Amino acid sequence: MALQIHPEQGTIVICDFKGLIQPEMNKRRPVIILSPRLRKRQGLCSVVPLSTTKPNPVEAYHHRLHIKPTLPEPYNSELCWVKADMLYTVSFDRLYLPFKNKDGDGKRQYDIRIIDKSDLVMIQRCVLHGLGMTALTDFL
C-alpha cells in the first residue's frame, strides 16, 4: 500500500521506479527520505536510492550505510551504498514501507526504520557533492 503521509526524514522506504528510462533507476529499491514535510508540497518527497553494489570508484557522493538489523527480504543486506548523485522527487504513490510479515490475525506488519542523524547529515553532504555544490558542504 502506498504511503499516505510524509515520512520522517531519514526513513527507509521502498520506491518503485518503474516507468523511468535507463540510465535512471527503473526497479524497486530501498530509498531514504531526504526532504522534510513541506506544507505546500503534498504528495511528494525527495529521496536517494540505496544499492548493495559497491560503486567503482567510490566518489564523494557515495556513502556506505550499515543497516542492523537488516531490512526484510529481498533487501536484507547489512551493507548498502547511498547513491546521492541520483536524487529524485517522487510521488507517495511510488513509496511503500518494507513488509516484514503478518501477525497472528493476518494483519501486515511493516519495518519502520529511521537512520541515525549522523548518517543523515553525511548523506546530505553527499547530495551536495552529487549536485556539484561541494563548497556548501562546509556549512553542514
Is residue 65 one of the residues assigned to a domain?
Answer: yes
Is residue 1 one of the residues assigned to a domain?
Answer: no
Q: Evaluate the CA torsion angle 122, 128, 133, 136 in order and state its sign.
A: negative
101 - beta bridge partners? 109
What does the mean pLDDT of the chain come to? 93
Q: Is residue 102's pLDDT more than 90?
A: no
Is residue 77 one of the residues assigned to a domain?
Answer: yes
What total of structural domains would you count in the chain? 1
Is residue 91 one of the residues assigned to a domain?
Answer: yes
Is residue 5 one of the residues assigned to a domain?
Answer: no
Q: Which domain holds residue 54?
A: 11-139
Of all helices (H) and strands (E), which one includes residue 123?
helix 117-130
Length of the chain: 140
* pLDDT tens-digit map of 3-62: 888 999 999 999 999 999 988 888 999 999 999 998 888 899 999 999 999 999 999 999
Q: In this structure, what CATH number is given to the domain that contains residue 124? A: 2.30.30.110
Strand, helix or coil for residue 126: helix
pTM value is 0.92
Is residue 23 one of the residues assigned to a domain?
Answer: yes
33 - beta bridge partners? 47
Q: What is the pLDDT of residue 104?
A: 83
